Amino acid sequence: MVKKQSNAKANSMLTAVVANQAGEIFELEGYAAVGMAGETLVALMAGTTRSMPFGSELMYLPERHPILYNLLNGKFETLKENPHAPGESLFPVAAFNSPGYVITHNSAYRQTRNAGYLPLFSYGAVGWHRTKFRTAVVLVDPEPRQDLRQMKHEEVLAGVDKMRRQLPVNRLRQHLEKCALQYGCPAGKNFFLGRYEAPLPTARQCNARCLGCLSLQKNTGIPHSQDRIAFTPTAEEIAQVALAHITSVKKSVVSFGQGCEGDPLLAADVIEPAIRQIRSQTRHGTINMNTNGSRPEILERLFDAGLDSVRISLNSVRDNCYDAYFRPRGYRFKDVLQSIATGLKRDKFVAINYLNSPGFTDSPQEVDALFDFLRNFPIQMIQWRNLNFDPMRYRKKMNAVADQGKPIGVKNLLTRIRRQFPKLKFGYFNPPKENF
Protein backbone atom coordinates (compact mmCIF):
# COMPACT_ATOMS: atom_id res chain seq x y z
CA MET A 1 0.00 0.00 0.00
CA VAL A 2 1.37 3.45 -0.87
CA LYS A 3 1.27 5.75 2.11
CA LYS A 4 2.63 9.20 2.70
CA GLN A 5 4.83 9.56 5.79
CA SER A 6 3.25 11.40 8.72
CA ASN A 7 4.36 15.04 8.77
CA ALA A 8 6.00 14.74 12.20
CA LYS A 9 8.16 11.83 11.12
CA ALA A 10 8.96 13.27 7.71
CA ASN A 11 9.90 16.60 9.31
CA SER A 12 12.53 15.01 11.52
CA MET A 13 14.04 13.07 8.62
CA LEU A 14 17.02 14.59 6.85
CA THR A 15 16.41 15.58 3.26
CA ALA A 16 18.53 13.59 0.82
CA VAL A 17 21.57 15.29 -0.71
CA VAL A 18 22.87 14.03 -4.05
CA ALA A 19 25.26 15.17 -6.77
CA ASN A 20 25.01 15.52 -10.52
CA GLN A 21 27.63 14.63 -13.13
CA ALA A 22 29.33 18.00 -12.64
CA GLY A 23 29.78 17.23 -8.93
CA GLU A 24 27.24 19.86 -7.88
CA ILE A 25 25.63 18.86 -4.58
CA PHE A 26 21.96 19.62 -3.92
CA GLU A 27 18.88 18.53 -1.93
CA LEU A 28 16.42 16.17 -3.53
CA GLU A 29 12.86 17.06 -2.62
CA GLY A 30 10.60 14.15 -1.73
CA TYR A 31 13.43 11.91 -0.52
CA ALA A 32 15.09 11.40 2.85
CA ALA A 33 18.83 10.73 3.28
CA VAL A 34 19.78 7.12 4.02
CA GLY A 35 22.61 5.54 5.99
CA MET A 36 24.02 2.08 5.35
CA ALA A 37 25.65 -0.38 7.75
CA GLY A 38 26.42 -3.56 5.85
CA GLU A 39 23.11 -4.52 4.24
CA THR A 40 21.07 -2.55 6.78
CA LEU A 41 19.52 0.72 5.61
CA VAL A 42 18.06 3.47 7.80
CA ALA A 43 16.50 6.81 6.97
CA LEU A 44 18.54 9.50 8.75
CA MET A 45 16.74 11.48 11.43
CA ALA A 46 17.61 14.81 13.03
CA GLY A 47 17.67 13.15 16.46
CA THR A 48 20.25 10.53 15.50
CA THR A 49 22.62 12.81 13.59
CA ARG A 50 24.69 15.92 14.36
CA SER A 51 25.45 19.13 12.50
CA MET A 52 28.33 18.31 10.22
CA PRO A 53 31.47 18.99 12.29
CA PHE A 54 33.66 21.92 11.27
CA GLY A 55 36.46 20.82 8.95
CA SER A 56 34.48 17.89 7.50
CA GLU A 57 34.29 17.60 3.73
CA LEU A 58 31.61 16.46 1.31
CA MET A 59 32.48 14.10 -1.53
CA TYR A 60 30.45 12.72 -4.38
CA LEU A 61 30.96 9.11 -5.36
CA PRO A 62 31.32 8.38 -9.07
CA GLU A 63 30.22 5.07 -10.62
CA ARG A 64 27.65 4.70 -7.88
CA HIS A 65 23.95 5.49 -7.42
CA PRO A 66 22.38 6.77 -4.21
CA ILE A 67 19.89 4.77 -2.16
CA LEU A 68 17.27 7.17 -0.84
CA TYR A 69 14.03 6.90 1.10
CA ASN A 70 10.97 7.86 -0.93
CA LEU A 71 8.75 9.90 1.38
CA LEU A 72 5.71 9.29 -0.78
CA ASN A 73 5.68 5.52 -0.79
CA GLY A 74 7.84 4.84 2.29
CA LYS A 75 10.34 2.70 0.38
CA PHE A 76 14.08 2.66 -0.13
CA GLU A 77 14.95 3.27 -3.77
CA THR A 78 18.14 3.35 -5.82
CA LEU A 79 17.97 6.40 -8.06
CA LYS A 80 19.99 6.51 -11.24
CA GLU A 81 18.35 9.65 -12.52
CA ASN A 82 16.93 12.80 -11.01
CA PRO A 83 13.15 12.22 -10.87
CA HIS A 84 12.65 16.00 -11.10
CA ALA A 85 14.96 16.35 -14.13
CA PRO A 86 14.80 13.16 -16.22
CA GLY A 87 18.06 12.36 -17.97
CA GLU A 88 20.22 13.94 -15.26
CA SER A 89 22.38 11.24 -13.62
CA LEU A 90 22.52 11.17 -9.82
CA PHE A 91 25.44 10.22 -7.59
CA PRO A 92 25.69 9.60 -3.85
CA VAL A 93 27.24 12.16 -1.51
CA ALA A 94 29.27 11.23 1.58
CA ALA A 95 30.93 13.16 4.40
CA PHE A 96 34.54 12.78 5.46
CA ASN A 97 34.13 13.83 9.07
CA SER A 98 36.64 15.65 11.24
CA PRO A 99 38.85 13.80 13.77
CA GLY A 100 37.07 12.85 16.98
CA TYR A 101 33.79 11.86 15.27
CA VAL A 102 32.96 8.19 14.68
CA ILE A 103 30.56 7.41 11.87
CA THR A 104 27.52 5.28 12.65
CA HIS A 105 26.51 4.74 9.02
CA ASN A 106 28.07 4.95 5.62
CA SER A 107 26.45 6.85 2.81
CA ALA A 108 24.00 4.42 1.16
CA TYR A 109 24.58 3.49 -2.46
CA ARG A 110 24.81 0.72 -5.03
CA GLN A 111 27.84 0.59 -7.23
CA THR A 112 27.80 0.03 -10.97
CA ARG A 113 29.17 -3.25 -12.31
CA ASN A 114 32.56 -1.82 -13.32
CA ALA A 115 32.97 0.68 -10.50
CA GLY A 116 36.59 1.29 -9.48
CA TYR A 117 37.71 1.37 -5.84
CA LEU A 118 37.00 4.50 -3.83
CA PRO A 119 40.08 6.39 -2.58
CA LEU A 120 41.24 6.18 1.05
CA PHE A 121 38.61 8.13 2.95
CA SER A 122 35.68 7.17 5.14
CA TYR A 123 32.28 7.71 3.58
CA GLY A 124 29.85 8.84 6.28
CA ALA A 125 26.13 9.31 5.68
CA VAL A 126 24.95 12.91 5.33
CA GLY A 127 21.70 14.80 4.79
CA TRP A 128 20.21 18.28 4.98
CA HIS A 129 17.96 19.65 7.72
CA ARG A 130 16.89 23.20 8.48
CA THR A 131 19.67 25.05 6.64
CA LYS A 132 22.46 22.71 7.69
CA PHE A 133 24.19 19.51 6.66
CA ARG A 134 23.96 16.81 9.32
CA THR A 135 26.05 13.64 9.51
CA ALA A 136 25.60 10.25 11.16
CA VAL A 137 28.36 10.49 13.78
CA VAL A 138 29.09 10.18 17.49
CA LEU A 139 31.59 12.52 19.13
CA VAL A 140 34.27 10.54 20.99
CA ASP A 141 36.94 13.20 21.53
CA PRO A 142 36.05 16.88 21.93
CA GLU A 143 39.69 18.08 22.19
CA PRO A 144 40.44 20.68 19.48
CA ARG A 145 43.93 19.22 18.87
CA GLN A 146 43.48 19.14 15.11
CA ASP A 147 40.94 21.93 14.75
CA LEU A 148 42.16 23.86 11.69
CA ARG A 149 40.62 27.08 13.02
CA GLN A 150 43.34 27.08 15.67
CA MET A 151 46.17 26.70 13.16
CA LYS A 152 46.75 30.12 11.68
CA HIS A 153 49.12 29.92 8.74
CA GLU A 154 51.21 32.91 9.85
CA GLU A 155 51.68 31.28 13.27
CA VAL A 156 52.79 28.02 11.66
CA LEU A 157 55.28 30.00 9.53
CA ALA A 158 56.58 31.79 12.62
CA GLY A 159 57.06 28.38 14.29
CA VAL A 160 58.90 27.09 11.22
CA ASP A 161 61.29 30.08 11.40
CA LYS A 162 61.87 29.55 15.10
CA MET A 163 62.63 25.85 14.65
CA ARG A 164 64.97 26.58 11.73
CA ARG A 165 67.02 28.76 14.05
CA GLN A 166 66.83 26.25 16.91
CA LEU A 167 67.61 23.10 14.84
CA PRO A 168 69.37 24.37 11.69
CA VAL A 169 70.77 21.05 10.44
CA ASN A 170 68.13 18.58 11.52
CA ARG A 171 66.57 16.54 8.65
CA LEU A 172 63.57 15.48 10.73
CA ARG A 173 62.73 19.15 11.42
CA GLN A 174 63.05 19.74 7.66
CA HIS A 175 60.75 16.79 6.90
CA LEU A 176 58.12 18.11 9.33
CA GLU A 177 58.23 21.48 7.56
CA LYS A 178 57.14 19.74 4.38
CA CYS A 179 54.40 17.88 6.28
CA ALA A 180 53.07 21.10 7.81
CA LEU A 181 53.42 23.42 4.83
CA GLN A 182 52.95 21.19 1.79
CA TYR A 183 50.62 18.46 3.04
CA GLY A 184 48.85 20.64 5.61
CA CYS A 185 49.33 17.85 8.17
CA PRO A 186 47.74 18.97 11.47
CA ALA A 187 50.20 16.90 13.53
CA GLY A 188 53.12 18.57 11.75
CA LYS A 189 51.53 21.99 12.29
CA ASN A 190 51.14 21.34 16.00
CA PHE A 191 54.89 20.80 16.30
CA PHE A 192 55.58 24.26 14.85
CA LEU A 193 52.74 25.81 16.82
CA GLY A 194 54.28 24.38 19.98
CA ARG A 195 51.19 22.58 21.27
CA TYR A 196 49.84 19.13 22.08
CA GLU A 197 51.50 16.22 20.24
CA ALA A 198 54.54 16.30 17.95
CA PRO A 199 55.05 13.61 15.32
CA LEU A 200 58.36 11.72 15.09
CA PRO A 201 58.18 9.84 11.76
CA THR A 202 61.12 7.48 11.49
CA ALA A 203 60.38 4.14 9.81
CA ARG A 204 60.70 3.47 6.10
CA GLN A 205 59.71 -0.21 6.31
CA CYS A 206 56.63 -2.09 7.39
CA ASN A 207 55.92 -5.78 7.93
CA ALA A 208 52.19 -5.43 7.19
CA ARG A 209 50.46 -4.67 3.90
CA CYS A 210 47.26 -3.03 5.06
CA LEU A 211 44.70 -2.77 2.29
CA GLY A 212 44.16 0.86 3.25
CA CYS A 213 47.75 1.87 4.06
CA LEU A 214 47.90 5.65 3.74
CA SER A 215 51.61 5.77 2.98
CA LEU A 216 52.06 2.91 0.51
CA GLN A 217 49.78 1.47 -2.18
CA LYS A 218 51.39 -0.88 -4.68
CA ASN A 219 49.59 -1.56 -7.98
CA THR A 220 46.12 -0.87 -6.54
CA GLY A 221 45.32 2.19 -8.63
CA ILE A 222 44.45 3.98 -5.37
CA PRO A 223 46.54 7.05 -4.57
CA HIS A 224 48.17 7.00 -1.11
CA SER A 225 47.54 10.16 0.88
CA GLN A 226 51.10 10.96 1.91
CA ASP A 227 54.57 9.93 0.79
CA ARG A 228 56.38 7.65 3.16
CA ILE A 229 59.44 9.21 4.82
CA ALA A 230 62.41 8.60 2.48
CA PHE A 231 65.22 8.56 5.07
CA THR A 232 65.80 7.32 8.60
CA PRO A 233 66.58 10.15 10.96
CA THR A 234 69.41 9.59 13.43
CA ALA A 235 68.75 9.09 17.14
CA GLU A 236 70.18 12.59 17.71
CA GLU A 237 67.84 14.18 15.17
CA ILE A 238 64.83 12.47 16.75
CA ALA A 239 65.86 13.41 20.29
CA GLN A 240 66.46 17.06 19.28
CA VAL A 241 62.98 17.41 17.77
CA ALA A 242 61.34 15.61 20.70
CA LEU A 243 63.18 17.70 23.29
CA ALA A 244 62.38 20.94 21.45
CA HIS A 245 58.72 20.02 21.86
CA ILE A 246 58.80 18.60 25.37
CA THR A 247 60.77 21.48 26.86
CA SER A 248 58.42 24.14 25.54
CA VAL A 249 54.97 22.51 25.75
CA LYS A 250 52.92 21.70 28.85
CA LYS A 251 51.46 18.17 28.89
CA SER A 252 53.39 17.42 25.70
CA VAL A 253 53.23 14.16 23.77
CA VAL A 254 55.77 13.03 21.15
CA SER A 255 54.72 10.12 18.97
CA PHE A 256 56.45 7.60 16.77
CA GLY A 257 54.28 5.94 14.14
CA GLN A 258 52.66 8.46 11.81
CA GLY A 259 50.62 8.25 8.64
CA CYS A 260 53.70 9.10 6.57
CA GLU A 261 55.86 6.19 7.65
CA GLY A 262 56.05 2.43 7.97
CA ASP A 263 55.95 0.76 11.37
CA PRO A 264 58.25 2.21 14.04
CA LEU A 265 58.99 -1.19 15.61
CA LEU A 266 61.07 -1.81 12.48
CA ALA A 267 63.17 1.27 13.24
CA ALA A 268 63.89 0.38 16.87
CA ASP A 269 67.64 0.59 16.28
CA VAL A 270 67.40 4.37 16.16
CA ILE A 271 64.28 4.80 18.27
CA GLU A 272 65.64 3.02 21.33
CA PRO A 273 68.75 5.25 21.64
CA ALA A 274 66.60 8.29 20.81
CA ILE A 275 64.26 7.51 23.72
CA ARG A 276 67.27 7.01 26.01
CA GLN A 277 68.67 10.39 24.95
CA ILE A 278 65.35 12.11 25.61
CA ARG A 279 64.99 10.44 28.98
CA SER A 280 68.59 11.27 29.94
CA GLN A 281 67.60 14.96 29.64
CA THR A 282 64.06 15.07 31.01
CA ARG A 283 61.37 13.09 32.79
CA HIS A 284 58.73 15.40 31.35
CA GLY A 285 56.64 14.74 28.26
CA THR A 286 54.91 11.57 27.14
CA ILE A 287 56.77 9.39 24.68
CA ASN A 288 54.21 7.42 22.70
CA MET A 289 54.32 4.92 19.88
CA ASN A 290 51.57 4.19 17.35
CA THR A 291 52.29 0.77 15.92
CA ASN A 292 50.95 -2.49 14.54
CA GLY A 293 52.36 -4.17 17.66
CA SER A 294 53.97 -6.96 15.65
CA ARG A 295 57.12 -7.34 17.73
CA PRO A 296 56.47 -7.65 21.46
CA GLU A 297 60.13 -8.31 22.30
CA ILE A 298 61.17 -5.02 20.68
CA LEU A 299 58.36 -3.17 22.40
CA GLU A 300 59.68 -4.51 25.71
CA ARG A 301 63.10 -3.01 24.92
CA LEU A 302 61.50 0.34 24.14
CA PHE A 303 59.58 0.27 27.42
CA ASP A 304 62.93 -0.37 29.16
CA ALA A 305 64.32 2.71 27.41
CA GLY A 306 61.43 4.92 28.62
CA LEU A 307 58.49 4.61 26.21
CA ASP A 308 55.39 5.66 28.17
CA SER A 309 52.45 4.60 26.05
CA VAL A 310 51.53 2.57 23.03
CA ARG A 311 48.62 2.64 20.61
CA ILE A 312 48.12 -0.53 18.64
CA SER A 313 46.13 -0.56 15.41
CA LEU A 314 43.43 -3.16 14.83
CA ASN A 315 40.65 -3.36 12.32
CA SER A 316 39.27 -6.39 14.14
CA VAL A 317 39.92 -8.52 17.21
CA ARG A 318 39.28 -11.66 15.15
CA ASP A 319 42.49 -13.07 13.73
CA ASN A 320 41.07 -14.01 10.30
CA CYS A 321 39.59 -10.53 9.79
CA TYR A 322 42.81 -8.93 11.05
CA ASP A 323 44.88 -11.01 8.63
CA ALA A 324 42.59 -10.21 5.70
CA TYR A 325 43.10 -6.47 6.19
CA PHE A 326 46.63 -6.15 7.66
CA ARG A 327 48.11 -9.00 5.58
CA PRO A 328 51.01 -9.42 8.02
CA ARG A 329 54.40 -10.68 6.88
CA GLY A 330 56.55 -12.48 9.40
CA TYR A 331 54.27 -12.01 12.40
CA ARG A 332 50.92 -13.33 13.62
CA PHE A 333 47.89 -11.80 15.30
CA LYS A 334 48.96 -13.51 18.52
CA ASP A 335 52.14 -11.37 18.48
CA VAL A 336 49.94 -8.27 18.44
CA LEU A 337 48.03 -9.60 21.46
CA GLN A 338 51.36 -10.35 23.12
CA SER A 339 52.42 -6.71 22.61
CA ILE A 340 49.21 -5.55 24.27
CA ALA A 341 49.82 -7.97 27.15
CA THR A 342 53.40 -6.72 27.46
CA GLY A 343 52.27 -3.12 27.75
CA LEU A 344 49.74 -4.04 30.42
CA LYS A 345 52.25 -6.17 32.32
CA ARG A 346 54.70 -3.26 32.31
CA ASP A 347 51.97 -0.97 33.65
CA LYS A 348 52.13 1.24 30.56
CA PHE A 349 49.23 3.12 29.02
CA VAL A 350 47.81 0.88 26.29
CA ALA A 351 45.28 2.06 23.71
CA ILE A 352 43.97 0.38 20.62
CA ASN A 353 43.38 2.26 17.44
CA TYR A 354 40.16 0.48 16.50
CA LEU A 355 39.25 1.08 12.88
CA ASN A 356 35.51 1.48 12.62
CA SER A 357 33.45 0.37 9.64
CA PRO A 358 29.67 0.38 10.27
CA GLY A 359 28.13 -2.99 9.48
CA PHE A 360 31.36 -4.80 10.37
CA THR A 361 32.53 -3.26 13.66
CA ASP A 362 29.00 -3.42 15.08
CA SER A 363 28.22 -6.90 13.75
CA PRO A 364 27.27 -9.29 16.60
CA GLN A 365 30.29 -11.49 15.83
CA GLU A 366 32.80 -8.63 16.09
CA VAL A 367 31.02 -7.18 19.13
CA ASP A 368 31.19 -10.51 21.00
CA ALA A 369 34.86 -10.86 20.10
CA LEU A 370 35.56 -7.29 21.23
CA PHE A 371 33.91 -7.87 24.61
CA ASP A 372 35.99 -11.03 25.08
CA PHE A 373 39.10 -9.10 24.11
CA LEU A 374 38.35 -6.29 26.58
CA ARG A 375 37.80 -8.80 29.38
CA ASN A 376 41.11 -10.53 28.61
CA PHE A 377 43.11 -7.36 27.92
CA PRO A 378 42.00 -4.53 30.24
CA ILE A 379 43.44 -1.75 28.09
CA GLN A 380 43.01 1.86 29.15
CA MET A 381 41.60 3.37 25.99
CA ILE A 382 39.94 2.75 22.66
CA GLN A 383 40.81 5.34 20.07
CA TRP A 384 38.00 5.18 17.56
CA ARG A 385 39.02 5.94 14.03
CA ASN A 386 36.93 5.60 10.93
CA LEU A 387 38.44 3.15 8.50
CA ASN A 388 39.51 5.11 5.44
CA PHE A 389 38.62 2.50 2.89
CA ASP A 390 35.99 1.69 0.27
CA PRO A 391 33.10 0.36 2.45
CA MET A 392 31.83 -2.20 -0.07
CA ARG A 393 35.28 -3.50 -0.90
CA TYR A 394 35.95 -3.89 2.82
CA ARG A 395 32.69 -5.71 3.38
CA LYS A 396 33.47 -8.13 0.58
CA LYS A 397 36.94 -8.83 1.99
CA MET A 398 35.60 -9.41 5.49
CA ASN A 399 32.65 -11.53 4.34
CA ALA A 400 35.11 -13.77 2.53
CA VAL A 401 36.71 -14.80 5.83
CA ALA A 402 34.01 -14.50 8.52
CA ASP A 403 30.28 -14.18 9.11
CA GLN A 404 28.83 -10.77 9.89
CA GLY A 405 25.29 -10.75 11.24
CA LYS A 406 22.81 -7.89 11.39
CA PRO A 407 24.64 -4.92 12.97
CA ILE A 408 23.59 -3.76 16.42
CA GLY A 409 24.43 -0.12 15.60
CA VAL A 410 27.65 1.77 16.35
CA LYS A 411 25.92 4.04 18.88
CA ASN A 412 24.51 1.04 20.68
CA LEU A 413 27.94 -0.61 20.66
CA LEU A 414 29.56 2.44 22.29
CA THR A 415 26.83 2.57 24.94
CA ARG A 416 27.19 -1.12 25.74
CA ILE A 417 30.96 -0.85 26.09
CA ARG A 418 30.67 2.18 28.38
CA ARG A 419 28.17 0.31 30.53
CA GLN A 420 30.23 -2.84 30.82
CA PHE A 421 33.71 -1.26 31.01
CA PRO A 422 33.14 2.04 32.82
CA LYS A 423 36.86 2.71 33.36
CA LEU A 424 37.75 2.33 29.69
CA LYS A 425 38.41 5.69 28.03
CA PHE A 426 37.15 6.59 24.57
CA GLY A 427 39.01 9.11 22.46
CA TYR A 428 40.83 9.92 19.28
CA PHE A 429 44.09 11.55 20.41
CA ASN A 430 46.99 10.13 22.43
CA PRO A 431 46.65 11.55 25.94
CA PRO A 432 49.56 13.05 27.91
CA LYS A 433 50.61 11.02 30.96
CA GLU A 434 49.09 13.67 33.23
CA ASN A 435 45.70 12.40 31.97
CA PHE A 436 46.40 8.64 32.11
Residues that bind ligand SF4 (CB under 6 A): 206, 208-210, 213, 215-216, 262-263, 292
**Closest by CA position to 107, among listed 121, 98, 99:** 121
CB of 264 to ligand SF4, least distance (A): 9
Helical packing angle, 296-305 and 268-281, nearest 10°:
20
Q: Which of 417, 361, 382 is nearest to 38 (CA)?
A: 361
Minimum CB–partner distance for residue 198 and ligand SF4 (Å) = 19
Q: Which is nearer to ligand SF4, 37 or 210 (CB)?
A: 210
CB of 281 to ligand SF4, least distance (A): 29
223 versus 422: smaller Cβ distance to ligand SF4 = 223
**Chain centroid to CA 158:** 29
**CB-nearer residue toward ligand SF4: 193 or 203:** 203
User: In 314-347, which positions are buried (b, 16+ CB within 10 angstroms) versus exposed (e)?
Assistant: bbbbbbebbebbbebeebebebbbbbbebbeeee
DSSP codes, 142-163: ---TT-GGG--HHHHHHHHHHH
Nearer to ligand SF4, 204 or 279 (CB): 204
For residue 383, report the phi and psi dihedrals to the nearest 5 degrees: -95, 115
CB of 213 to ligand SF4, least distance (A): 3
Q: Smallest distance from the beta carbon of 291 to ligand SF4, in angstroms?
A: 8
How far is it, in rounded angstroms, from Cα 198 to Cα 351?
Answer: 18
User: Do 197 and 187 form a contact (C-beta atoms < 8 A)?
Assistant: yes
- Triad 100, 102, 104: Cα angle to 5°: 160
Q: How far apart are the first and last CA of the chain?
A: 57
The least distance separating ligand SF4 from the CB of residue 329, rounded to whole angstroms, comes to 10
In this structure, what is the dihedral angle of CA atoms 427, 356, 20, 7, given to the nearest 10 degrees?
-80
Closer Cβ to ligand SF4, 208 or 337, answer by number: 208
Beta carbon nearer to ligand SF4, 70 or 217: 217
Minimal distance in Å, beta carbon 53 to ligand SF4?
24
Shorter beta-carbon distance to ligand SF4: residue 277 or 388: 388
